[in-house]
Amino acid sequence: MQLLLLLFFILAATLQEDDQDLRESSFHAIDNAAVYQHIASRVDWDGLVASLPSLGKWELEYALDILGLSGQIRYLPILEEYAHHTDPEIRVWADDAIENINFRLKHTIDPQMQGKLTV
C-alpha cells in the first residue's frame, strides 16, 4: 500500500510539473513501478487519462503503456483514439496498450480489480 501512495503522489506532482525533462523522467519511474511491481491494475488512472492531451510525445509513450498495463477495459476507447493518431509511433504505442489490456482481460479473473487507488 505504501508504494501505491508514493505512486499517487509522484503522478500528482508529475502532472503539475512544468519542466518537460523532469516530467518525462517521472513518467519513466511510474512506468517502471507499473511494470516491475505489478501495481498498474490496482490504480485508478483517470487523472492520467484526463491529462493525456497535454502530454508531450515521450510522456505519452509512458502514459499509454501504463494504461495498457492497467488491464482496465474502460481505457480501451481512449486508447482506440490514439491508435488513429497522425504520428505512427503513437499509433504503435496505443496498439501495444490495447493488446496488453486484451491479454490481461483474457488471463485475469477480475479485470476490474478491487482496492484501487485513485490518481
> What's this model's pTM, rounded to 2 decimal places?
0.85
Phi, psi of 44 (to 5 degrees): -90, 110
Residue 63 · residue 94 · CB < 8 Å: no
Structure confidence at residue 36 (pLDDT): 86
Please report, in tens digits, the pLDDT of each residue of the chain (119 residues total). Answer: 677 888 888 999 999 999 989 999 999 999 998 888 888 888 889 999 999 999 999 999 999 999 999 999 999 999 999 999 999 999 999 999 999 999 988 887 554 544 454 55
Structure confidence at residue 44 (pLDDT): 87
Task: Quote the number of domains for the chain.
Answer: 1
Domain that holds residue 98: 2-118
Instruction: Please report, in angstroms and rounded to a whole number, the separation of the first and last CA atoms in the chain.
Output: 14
